[in-house]
Structure 1
Amino acid sequence: MHRKLFYIMCFVLIGQQVSGCESTGPVAHPLMTHYIVLSQNLLYAVRTGDSTRADIDTLARASTQELARQLADDAAKKAFWLNVYNAFVQIFLQHDTTLYQHRPAFFSRKSIVIAGHHLSLDDIEHGMLRHSKIKWSLGYLNKPFPSAFEKQFRVDSLDDRIHFALNCGARSCPPIAFYDPAHIDQQLDLATKNYLFNELSYDTTSQTLYLPAIMGWFRHDFGGKKGMLKLVKKWGFVPEDAHPHIRFKPYDWTLYLHHFQNDTP
């Protein structure tokens, strides 16, 4: 197997208890592009500083029919769109850090081309990964008229764990990982647990639970405060019999690029 693909398959096994990484990942047919592998290749090139041009061009010319065949379930869709989103944030901001001074325009600009369709970072996050949610509705409202492309390639069910996997370039963002359909549940569990471990705090004296800002922004994705409390109890951050007040921490928008899993801050 090509060394590049071998390394990628090592990265996607983060969080797994493995003694080594064997080259047993997907093997591309010489006449067929495997788009999930391509999304991993793109992200790997971002990490290593290799050229991303060929991968970007291949995604732009992707076959809609073949992409639909490969993104046949939510595991595949989540892995693909998470890798694509995280890769393009890095690509854009490494090219021009001043874009981050105008974040609304940065996230809404349709500069990503997938299978001939122009998408923004917002389209990927709120359309594909959040099942066509309106961005500033706390997760309560759906888009009334999503595009046919979005309806075809969005997830069937919103998974709140994606919020702990999307890296928008800010200091408060979770680290970037290489997502793979075969391990997506374990990877998203790990991302959730690690992000909450680093970001939440619990004041037992005042019985106040301070949660990451992103949970407040998208509160309905988490099932409201009741769902948030259930989540943190699941991971053992708060005792089962506790009923704390919930507050949300401020978000640090300081630009922080190349924050990959296992990198030292």
Structure 2
Amino acid sequence: MQAYKYSLIAVLFLLFSCSGGNSTFASEDSGKPDHSKWTELLQKHVNDKGFVNYKGMIQDEQKLNAYTEDLSGNPPQANWSENEKLAYWINAYNAFTVKLIVDNYPLESIKDLNPTIAIPTVSTVWTKKWFQIGGEDFSLDKIEHRILRKDFEEPRIHFAVNCASFSCPPLRNEAFVAEKVNEQLDEQARIFINDGVRNKLSKTKIEISQIFSWFKGDFTNGQSLIEFLNRYSKVKIDDTAKVDHIDYEWALNEWN
């Protein structure tokens, strides 16, 4: 009896462990979401600076909901390519973020949706599980940290996911797609790093986004942060350049 109890505990622990962030699902019935639905909305309601016309999105709420339902019902499968999975999860993060704002509009900042007592990494708007993918409860944090960062180890995702705030990298006005996701990520990196408002770069001194502080380890895997920046920067930065960080502005990334 005692051995059976320990075996049962072990099985339950294994099942619980496997229920964490995973970029693929076991279902064989789902298809692939139509990301052109997302591109249609983005091109209509996101300007060339990456700001969002949320009032316009509200007018197209039915189309937005149709796309997020498409994402929910068609999660990544084991036979998808890595690029298909990567594009899916970036689009899912961005689409559900926009839906979150649309569902709670008007507001001045996504942080207005934090619980009264917000505990970083424990109880915030990003940790709340409020939507489903493949029948599983999800939060925005789960997509970003337990799937995108953990499964793909791709630092450029930080320039692709958008947190609906002024200091975030711009929301791309087209969906990410497997066929060109690497080119899209490279372009997002170049746009953000060379954005003179969010990053001020010179040869001997740089003032950069807090993103490079919060996720420094993602950018310095086998290289220095300045080496990473120099891959995309128009200004070639000295290895000994002084590094400061710019305060993050959480005002809504709204295009009026």
Q: TM-score, normalised by structure 2?
A: 0.68
> Separation in 2 of the partners of 1:61 and 1:80?
12
Aligned identity (percent) is 23
> Residues of 1 paired with 2:140 and 2:92: CA distance?
9
Once the two structures are superposed, the pairs formed by residues 66-105 of structure 1 within 5 Å of their partners are 67-69=76-78, 71-73=80-82, 75-97=83-105, 98=107, 100-103=111-114, 105=124
- Alignment check: 8 A CA contact 1:165 1:188 kept: yes
3-state DSSP class of the match of 1:247?
strand
Deviation at 1:120, TM superposition (A): 0.1
CA positional deviation for 1:238: 3.9
Aligned-pair CA distance for 1:227: 2.5
User: How far does the alpha carbon of each residue in 1:28-86 deviate from its partner, in whole angstroms, 9 at most, with x for none?
Assistant: xxx97322x2x442464466443133333343333x6xx3145331x112210111111
Q: Cα–Cα, structure 1 residues 245 and 127, in superposed 2: closer, same or farther, change >3 Å?
A: same
- Answer yes or no: is the 8 Å Cα contact 1:46–1:91 preserved in 2: no
Question: Does the Cα contact within 8 Å between 1:100 and 1:255 map onto a contact in 2?
Answer: no
1:10 alignment counterpart: none
Structure 2 residue aligned with 1:208: 205
Asked if 1:181 corresponds to 2:178, the answer is: yes
Q: Secondary structure at the match of 1:231?
A: helix
Q: Aligned residue for 1:9?
A: none
Match of 1:229 among 226, 230, 238: 226
Deviation, structure 1 residue 89:
0.7
Q: Are 1:118 and 2:137 counterparts?
A: yes
Query: Hey, what does 1:33 align to over in structure 2?
Result: 31
C-alpha contact 2:190 2:233 (8 A) present in aligned 1? no
Count of residue pairs the alignment pairs up: 197
1:166 and 2:185 correspond: no
What is the letter of the counterpart of residue 163 of structure 2?
C
Letter in 2 for 1:248: H
Q: Which has the larger radius of gyration?
A: 2
Structure 2 unpaired stretches of 5+: 1-28, 45-56, 115-122
| Cα shift at 1:186 | 0.6
Q: Counterpart of 1:108 in 2: which secondary structure?
A: coil
Label 1:85 to 1:245 Cα distance change in 2 as closer, same or farther (>3 A).
same
- Tell me whether 171-180 or 98-107 shows the greater mean CA deviation: 98-107
Residue 110 of structure 1 aligns with an amino acid whose one-letter code is K
Q: Is the 8 A contact 2:220 2:228 kept in 1?
A: no
